[in-house]
Structure 1
Amino acid sequence: MSLFNKMLASVGIGSAKVDTKLESEIVSPGGELRGIVEIQGGNVEQRIEDIYLSLHTTYVKETDDKKYTVNGLIDRFQLAESLILKANEKKVIPFSFLLPADVPLTIGKTKVWISTGLDIKGAVDPTDKDYLRVVPNQLMDSVFQSLSGLGFRLREAECEQAPHRLRRRLPFIQEFEFVPISGPFRGRLDELEITFFPNSNGDLEVLMQVDRKVRGLGSLFSEALNMDEANIRFVLNQGDIPSMQGKLHSLIQNYS
């Protein structure tokens, strides 16, 4: 019977199971994620070589003028190495770690999840999947609130393959596309795109693309040559929060 159970466990029947329970699924970039991993032994004793959590999202990749969605690994965290799990034994492993500062926000089409895996030699590896709600940190939220105050509405947010000039640790970037529906830039801009590049010291580097509205024949030629777009790079810190709206207004004004 034991040999039969081992054969079943090798194909995932009666094998160990894993379940991750998060203290909270709401997190922010650079914030702490806490929880426990529950492992329930199956019908036979099994050796678990590795227990890990991996952080994932999806992003749009383009090849030969065709776009498709691929899985992107953001980070991987090892919880434990090599242990023996007896039949029907239950183990609980607490965890706590900081999310990377460049984890994308779960806005628009973007989803982020934690995948928990057990590496069991010679058997199907059990996994568990838990979605996170990644909300803006204080500095990012200040940017969003200020743009809203200037009359911009978020139209789209998506993770896309990063061009080589913008590639950092990850192969993708998250772009936020805004349109002016009221305020001083309505009728002057077509759209505004921003991308965040968090720094390790807590500062926030921002790439902003200002797309000016076409006016007259000269502007039509400029648009055809992409000369109607202006790219601005600047760095924000916590000290900018009280005057964020005025700072963004001045930057956009200079290029609109």
Structure 2
Amino acid sequence: MFKKLLSSIGIGSATVDTKLTKAQYVQGETVEGVVDIRGGNVEQHIDEIYLALVTTYIREIDDKKFEEKAVLARYKVSDSLTIGPNETKTIPFQFALPYDVPVTVGTSRVWLQTGLDIKMALDPQDRDYLAIEPHPLVEAFLEAVRQLGFRLRHVQCEQAPRYWQRRLPFVQEFEFKPVSGPFKGRLDELEAIFFVSEHGVEVILEIDRKARGFAGLLSEALDMDETLVRFTYGPSDVASLPQRLANAIGRHS
């Protein structure tokens, strides 16, 4: 009875350890691994084993910024089962990463939270961080802006305005600075948001023009120096993407 009481507060209870076949993935790629469960001092009934894909984003309230957690997806690994004292069980799993999982650059972090639902007990949990690379079509865009003389300066997940929200309450914003090429001296910065799907990418660009002269300074003071451009592209557009991007930026700079 005393052992059961200790298990109910997490002492001598079952433990969980998730092992992935690798730690680095691309948006939309399939993740594979196993969940290892080791029983504690007493037999325990586990209602469910789950994996939660989690990240954080910045939320602004009254000009103050707060970090919020967001569950991108939740995956059920196993139905109810019983684990005996010191018994071990290994349960394999696989799932496809969502296309909107953030790329882990800048301040963005993504992890898998593994949990065992055990009634009347402190649920054991395990956290495994993932390295998420851009989808090939997003990588093609990043290469295109590099060719145009932009350098990636900042990446952050931020709460999105309602009209930009899709499945999630935030977007990942990529901020670029022109350091060479035709747009150096013409733009302050270029910001991009990507909505990736299995068919292609929708990108929203915010083109921040550099103030030039009195009219430019006035526009900047009135927040009129930023232009939003929206376009889509797919695998067949990759070769022409640098020129297409240059034309879009050029029209608004």
TM over 0.5, shorter chain: yes
Residue identity in the other structure for 1:92: T
- How many residues align structurally? 253
**SS of structure 1 residue aligned to 2:131:** strand
1:39, distance to aligned residue in structure 2 (A)? 0.4
1:239 aligns with 2:236: yes
Counterpart position of 1:65: 63
1:219 aligns with 2:216: yes
Residue identity in the other structure for 1:169: R
Q: Distance in 2 between matches of 1:247 and 1:138?
A: 18
1:202, distance to aligned residue in structure 2 (A)? 2.5
Q: Distance in 2 between matches of 1:149 and 1:98?
A: 32
| Uncovered stretches (5+) of structure 2, i.e. residues with no partner | none
Residue identity in the other structure for 1:40: R
Counterpart position of 1:252: 249
**SS of structure 1 residue aligned to 2:166:** coil
1:106 aligns with 2:104: yes
Deviations 1:104-133 (A, max 9, x none): 100101000000000000000000000000
Counterpart position of 1:162: 160
Equivalent residues in 2 for 1:38-53, closer than 5 Å: 38-53=36-51
**SS of structure 2 residue aligned to 1:56:** strand
Counterpart position of 1:37: 35
Question: Match for 1:195 among 188, 193, 196?
Answer: 193
Deviations 1:159-192 (A, max 9, x none): 0011111011101100000000001100000000
Identity of aligned residues (%): 51
TM-score (norm 1): 0.97
Q: Distance in 2 between matches of 1:38 and 1:72?
A: 25
Counterpart position of 2:25: 27
Q: Distance in 2 between matches of 1:99 and 1:117?
A: 18
1:242, distance to aligned residue in structure 2 (A)? 1.5
Off by >6 Å, runs of 4+ in structure 1: none
Residue identity in the other structure for 2:216: S
**SS of structure 2 residue aligned to 1:118:** strand
Residue identity in the other structure for 2:214: L
Counterpart position of 2:78: 80
TM-score (norm 2): 0.98
Q: Distance in 1 between matches of 2:90 and 2:249?
A: 52
**SS of structure 2 residue aligned to 1:141:** helix
1:88, distance to aligned residue in structure 2 (A)? 1.0
Counterpart position of 1:133: 131
State the superposition RMSD in angstroms. 0.8
Q: Distance in 1 between matches of 2:250 and 2:102?
A: 28
